[in-house]
């Protein structure tokens, strides 16, 4: 069964600090991995999309990494801001399937 596990479940950091969120998956065959940011009461917004051949992708202060061999991904947030407070969701798409596998998300709270 395809699964996506995210850790930690929740995280509290101070404004200006860096943090790293983890995503482990057992989806096969692998097509691509996406990170989304979901603000409270809003729909998810795409941050990065990585295919099998990509191991790093950045979007401003967000940098995602992918290790396809170990089936792990991380999302690094640099110099956090209050607006980074949100849920971060890892999604893995399987080749040949329209049904992606979503993680449960990591809830990030940035305090001033």
Partner 1 sequence: NAGVTQTPKFRILKIGQSMTLQCTQDMNHNYMYWYRQDPGMGLKLIYYSVGAGITDKGEVPNGYNVSRSTTEDFPLRLELAAPSQTSVYFCASSPGTDFYSNQPQHFGDGTRLSIL
Contacts to partner 1 by CB under 8 A: 4, 31-32, 34, 41-46, 49, 51, 89, 93-105
- Give the residue among 2, 1, 15, 8 at the shortest CA–CA distance from 93: 2
Q: How far is the CB of 51 from partner 1 (least distance, A)?
A: 7
Q: How many CB atoms lie within 10 A of CB 18?
A: 11
Q: Are 112 and 82 in contact (CB under 8 A)?
A: yes
When the beta carbons of 31 and 78 are compared against partner 1, the nearer one is 31
When the beta carbons of 41 and 112 are compared against partner 1, the nearer one is 41
When the beta carbons of 60 and 112 are compared against partner 1, the nearer one is 60
Q: How far is the CB of 16 from partner 1 (least distance, A)?
A: 28
Q: How far is the CB of 50 from partner 1 (least distance, A)?
A: 9
Q: Are 100 and 92 in contact (CB under 8 A)?
A: yes
Q: Are 108 and 84 in contact (CB under 8 A)?
A: yes
């Amino acid at each position: 069964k395809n699964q996506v596990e995210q850790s930690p479940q929740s995280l509290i950091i101070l404004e200006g600090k860096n943090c790293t969120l983890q995503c482990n998956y057992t989806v096969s065959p692998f097509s691509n991995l996406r990170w989304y940011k979901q603000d409270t009461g809003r729909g998810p917004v795409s941050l990065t999309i990585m295919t099998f051949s990509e191991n790093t992708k950045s979007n401003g202060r967000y940098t995602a990494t992918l290790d396809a061999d170990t089936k792990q991904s991380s999302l690094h947030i640099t110099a956090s801001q209050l607006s980074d407070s949100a849920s971060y969701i890892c999604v893995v798409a399987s080749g040949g399937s329209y049904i992606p596998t979503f993680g449960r998300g990591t809830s990030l709270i940035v305090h001033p």
